[in-house]
Amino acid sequence: MSEKLLVPDIGEFEKVEVIELLVKVGDQINLNDPVVTIESDKSSVEIPSTVSGKIESVNIKVGDKVSKGDILLSIESSKESPSEKPIPKDTESIIKQAESVLKNEKKEEASQQSPAPEKKQTIIQVTNENDIDPLETQDWLESLSAVVEKDGNQRAHFLIKELINKAYQEGANIPYTQHTPYINTIPPEAEVKSNGDQNIERRIRSLIRWNAAAMVVRANKKFPELGGHIGTFASAATLYDVGMNHFWRAKNNKFGGDLVYFQGHSAPGIYARAFLEGRLNEKQLDSFRQEVKPGGLSSYPHPWLMPKFWQFPTVSMGLGPMLAIYQARYMKYLINRGLIKDEGRKVWAFLGDGEMDEPESLGAIGLASREKLDNLIFVINCNLQRLDGPVRGNGKIIQELEGSFRGAGWNVIKVIWGSYWDSLIANDKTGHLVKAMNETVDGEYQAMKARDGAYVREKFFGKYPETQELVSSLSDKDIWRLNRGGHDPHKVYAAYDQASKNQGSPTVIIAKTIKGYGMGKTGESVNTTHQTKKLDVDDLLYYRDRFDVPLTDDQVKNVEYFKPDEKSPEIKYIKERRTNLGGSLPERTTYAKPIKAPAKDIFDFMKVSTGEKEMSTTMALVRMFTNLLRDKNVSPRLVPIIPDEARTFGMEGFFQKIGIYAHEGQKYEPEDSAQLSSYREDKSGQVLEEGINEAGAMSSWIAAATAYTNHDIEMIPIYIFYSMFGFQRIGDLAWAAGDSQARGFLIGATAGRTTLAGEGLQHQDGHSHLIASTIPNCVTYDPTFHYELAVIFREGLRRMHEKNENVFYYITTMNENYSHPGMPKDKNCEEGILKGMYKIKEFNRYGKTKIQLLGSGTILREMMSAAEILQNEYQIDSEIWSVTSFNELRKDGMEVERYNLLNPDKEQKVSFVEQCLGKTEGPIMAASDYMRMNSDQIRPYTNKSFYSLGTDGYGRSDTRKNLRKFFEVDKEHIVAYGLSVLAKEQLIASKYAKEAIKKYNIDGSKPMPTKL
């Protein structure tokens, strides 16, 4: 049966050009195989076949213009009975989701009807002075207690929910709260007990505490300027110890490993544990914060500095939480795309309560719950202190965080009180103890732990006669022993166990601790704890005694480390626990297989002239992506990341071709479902559509760009964004990407201060290359033509993903349409493109006066036009150089200069800039669509007179022509400046420059654009 394949609904476009025919007569094709590529001035998209069969005839050719309904092909279709037709993927997904919902509803109904196993609950009676009828209240509370005892928590929860719903229906204005009382989430009777040896674990923990503190103190005794932090790990030691001994599984040949984001200031404790495990030696500990010589330990987690140890840079406050969320989401992405197995791996992130004030810390918690990231666990160490003082002196940070996370849909586990409080809480029959706990603010809690038991008795328990009576039989010493939950391994173990088993939502464990725990009068719970780098002898002796470290007084005074014999129970135990959990943590390894770079001919179409056809470099990039998606090695590894601008960049064709990742698939029919580029979400979708969220998009990019080490799979992330909203907006994340040894492409689209015409000051980028140049392993390019882009991109694929170099690429592309010439035949052209510059054109008609013109991005075209004017109207010859990267030229120049200065007796090297320009005639003038500083970078590396033009100042809305005139980088200004340069160099008379300035109506008295 012969069927016609017609042009589908392509939206608002008419007469769209056919740029590729992907099939020919006689080809056998399958449903959804791409057959034709069409391209408007805004986007490029493939048209898929709607049937399977054999091509009978092709009705169009490359260059034809087509519209909706035009015939493309005739196909002899394969017959398929209706009963054998597969259910469309989206429909099948909807059916599965509906079945899942029905199953869940049945489960919920069953759980509500069948009584839970009986478990005795602790009933707390809370007195409220605002209660107008305490007897009625007591009746309700007793009824609720009876339901809990008879039918379990689920039934009680159901009844409360129904009561609230009924109250809303009756018009009651119920205040919304996400807070629970200031007690532990898990009651003692529900705690899962650890199977570890608690005595040995305490001894190990004590040794780790001591060695961590000793390492910092020893370093600062030698060099007081080194600094370091003792107080943070002192508060978090138990939180890490329980995880290391029982929960965190390492990567090995059988398992992908859990991922742990260690809190940056806790690094000394992680080193101290590695010392006991035999992974670090005493010499290395003594090189803490002394990294210039090999073997030093970095101040904080830095993979760049310790590439076999640290996995994640976390010390820039706020980045750890956001990166962990997107790492957990990316893990699900890889699983749902079938690229890695679902092994039940977890992402753990350790955070400080002070850190949670950073916008990034809480900025993505809604995404974590929306995506049901039950592979994510936050542990927030609430020691109640930041660097200068209390986090919330007048409030309660734990309650505040509970409300934020619970409101966002997280599973919240509070670990506030240690086991010594259990009997007190159980005996609090009047509720006054919990009332006091709720009322006491963090500033008070901090002060209490800086004093003693008598102070706590007076200030806390003395608030009510009932609470005073509760502790009447306890001594002040007993009261002082009442511990906080984050220091109690039993409470921490129970919380970790529950968090690890939670399904359907992310979990946050909020643990209350004491900053500087065990540090004595110098550091425990005092405002200066964070700055404490040294401990005096009395404090060290107190620390030793507090944690029973087996050192003599003289050893303490000498601040010696302590490591038991290899055959000791402690060392055998610590190694056994890690062996059982798969190996060491943290540890950074990779077993990823390289991706073979695509054959050169895949980019050949970008090396020929476009003729009269005009396109932007952004559109050329999209064409290249489309071709890469046909390469079987590269295609599955591509991760396109877009912050809600796919249509701006002409990438909407990817929606249908590879789908938008959505963990639940697509539950709705999109408004544009009839169109070729309709919005298609899919559980196995490839595009990460991040919405208006550059920080989130960059976090996804970092997760993908480090997948080679964290998931042992090489991926090719390509994050495309408005260039102004790249490095300027997420500079700290870009720096972390460099530290993480990320590999991938950042594409700064709609780049250039005068190229993105109408958007104005906030959107027009004139400095992203300068910001990018600050990152040592970031390779940057600003290409003008499509063949330059092709050469750069293929080399990036080769270097990063075939040769595994730890660099990442930043490439700017523009939205200005113009025709592109073919690639020059010069054999050195490709080398020049990659090194940063090559000669693209030369004017030698007169053989007298000459100038060297260097241009990059779209301003290269202004240079080329100016060169023609100089030749035709002023008899000035020129050589025109396309500068693809001032940054790369600067790197080469610095390296050559350094070598020559350090090796004065050896043959002197020549910079690539000088190799290109050293033997040419005339002065140099360089221009780009960026600040003058961009091109000024290469000024020191040539012996010729050097002048630069650029777009210094704030952008503004106008046409490209007017903007280039305003910033003085249009062809007319280039001509006038060029003549002035030649006059200044005494190569021509100054009258020519003066005449040109007058001819082009250039106002010499106009202020610099930076002042306007």
For residue 341, what is the enclosing H or E element?
A: none
Q: In degrees rounded to 5, what are phi and psi of residue 470?
A: -55, -35
Q: Are the beta carbons of 889 and 914 closer than 8 angstroms?
A: no
CA–CA distance, 351 with 563 (Å, rounded to integer): 29
Q: In degrees rounded to 5, what are phi and psi of residue 910?
A: -120, 130
The reply, when asked if residue 211 is annotated as ligand binding, is no
Q: How many CB atoms lie within 10 A of CB 842?
A: 13
Q: Are the beta carbons of 80 and 3 closer than 8 angstroms?
A: no
CA distances from 33 to 47, 126, 679, 680, 684 (A): 8, 68, 19, 17, 18
Q: Are the beta carbons of 821 and 861 closer than 8 angstroms?
A: no
CA–CA distance, 642 with 651 (Å, rounded to integer): 9
CA–CA distance, 37 with 19 (Å, rounded to integer): 6
Buried b (16+ CB within 10 A) or exposed e, 775-799: beebbbbbbbbbbbbbbbbbbbbbb
- Long-range CB pairs of 405-408 (<8 Å, 24+ gap) are 405/365, 405/378, 405/508, 405/510, 406/178, 406/179, 407/178, 408/365, 408/366, 408/368, 408/369
Look at the chain and count its residues. 1012
Virtual torsion, Cα 804, 810, 816, 817, nearest 10 deg: -10
Q: Are the beta carbons of 67 and 677 closer than 8 angstroms?
A: no
Q: What is the DSSP-derived secondary structure letter of residue 38?
A: E
Question: In sequence order, which ranges of 744-879 are alpha helices (DSSP H)?
Answer: 768-772, 786-797, 829-835, 859-874
Q: What DSSP letter does each residue of 366-418 carry, written as one string?
A: HHHHHTT-TTEEEEEEE-SB-SSSBSSTTS-HHHHHHHHHHHHT-EEEEE-B-
Among the listed residues 13, 93, 97, 3, the one whose alpha carbon sits nearest the alpha carbon of residue 54: 3
Virtual torsion, Cα 110, 116, 122, 124, nearest 10 deg: 20
CA–CA distance, 330 with 324 (Å, rounded to integer): 10
The reply, when asked if residue 675 is annotated as ligand binding, is no
Place of tokens 């390296």: 895
CA–CA distance, 581 with 346 (Å, rounded to integer): 13
Q: In degrees rounded to 5, what are phi and psi of residue 393?
A: -55, -40
CA distances from 802 to 621, 705, 708, 714, 798 (A): 21, 14, 12, 9, 5
Among the listed residues 917, 912, 784, the one whose alpha carbon sits nearest the alpha carbon of residue 860: 784
The reply, when asked if residue 353 is annotated as ligand binding, is yes
Q: Is the peptide bond before 586 cis (omega within 30 degrees of 0)?
A: yes
CA–CA distance, 434 with 467 (Å, rounded to integer): 9
Q: In sequence order, which residues have a C-beta less than 8 Å from that of residue 83 and are 6 or more positions away?
A: none
Q: What DSSP letter does each residue of 415-468 carry, written as one string?
A: E-B-GGGHHHHHT-TTSHHHHHHHH--HHHHHHHHTS-HHHHHHHTGGGSHHHH
For residue 766, what is the enclosing H or E element?
A: none
Query: Which residues carry a binding-site annotation for Mg(2+)?
Result: 353, 383, 385
- Residue numbers in the known binding site are 353, 383, 385
